[in-house]
């Protein structure tokens, strides 16, 4: 963000296989090097789709909410004095698979929605309680059509 001091609106979208990989890049991107610098960013939209392999026994969903992934750092950065102009943050998270979870894996589908409810309040406590920043958290499950 140091290279874009006048940027007012930013939309980022990515397909992700591991949560840590993406957040390891995202958090440093928003961290300003100069402690005295500020950003003019007003609107931020992140659309993240976790690709869940067909028949996966791995709990990719659980990886997303691990505290070590950097959500708290991102939450703290976006609500810091470095971003005084920020007025709206939209984060869309989708767990994507090539099958219909609701009918084929109802227990996993239910668990996903429980994770989503937990994710907003536990991973984004500052954005969720901010009076000056509108925080929109938009979870979904869906289909992924090939690579």
Residue 145 has pLDDT above 60, yes or no: no
Distance CA 139, CA 47 (A): 10
Which one-letter DSSP state was computed for residue 94?
Answer: E
How many alpha carbons lie under 13 Å from residue 64 in its C-beta half-sphere? 27
Residues 10-46 have pLDDT tens digits of 998 877 765 566 677 788 889 988 888 899 999 999 8
| Share in percent of the chain as helix, strand, coil (round to 5) | 35, 25, 35
DSSP H helix total and E strand total for the chain: 6, 4
Residues 46-96 have pLDDT tens digits of 888 777 665 565 566 666 666 667 888 899 999 999 999 999 999 887 776
Say how many domains are in the chain.
1
Q: Is residue 51 included in any domain, yes or no? A: yes
Q: Is residue 1 included in any domain, yes or no? A: no
Which domain, by its residues, includes 100? 9-143
The pair of three-digit structure tokens given for residue 106, joined into one six-digit string: 């109802």
Nearest residue to 45 via CA among 132, 125, 138 = 138
Q: Is residue 3 included in any domain, yes or no? A: no
């Amino acid at each position: 963000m140091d290279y874009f001091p006048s940027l007012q609106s930013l939309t980022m979208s990515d397909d992700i296989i591991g949560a840590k990989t993406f957040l390891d890049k995202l958090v440093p991107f928003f961290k300003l090097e100069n402690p005295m610098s500020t950003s003019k960013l007003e609107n931020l939209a992140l659309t993240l789709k976790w690709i869940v392999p067909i028949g996966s026994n791995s709990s990719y969903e659980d990886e997303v909410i691990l505290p070590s992934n950097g959500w708290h750092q991102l939450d703290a950065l976006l609500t810091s004095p470095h971003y005084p102009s920020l007025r709206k943050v939209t984060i869309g998270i989708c767990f994507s698979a090539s099958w219909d979870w609701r009918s084929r894996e109802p227990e996993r589908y239910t668990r996903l929605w429980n994770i989503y409810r937990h994710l907003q309040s536990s991973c984004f406590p500052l954005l969720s309680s901010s009076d000056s920043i509108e925080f929109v958290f938009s979870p979904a499950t869906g289909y992924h059509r090939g690579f």
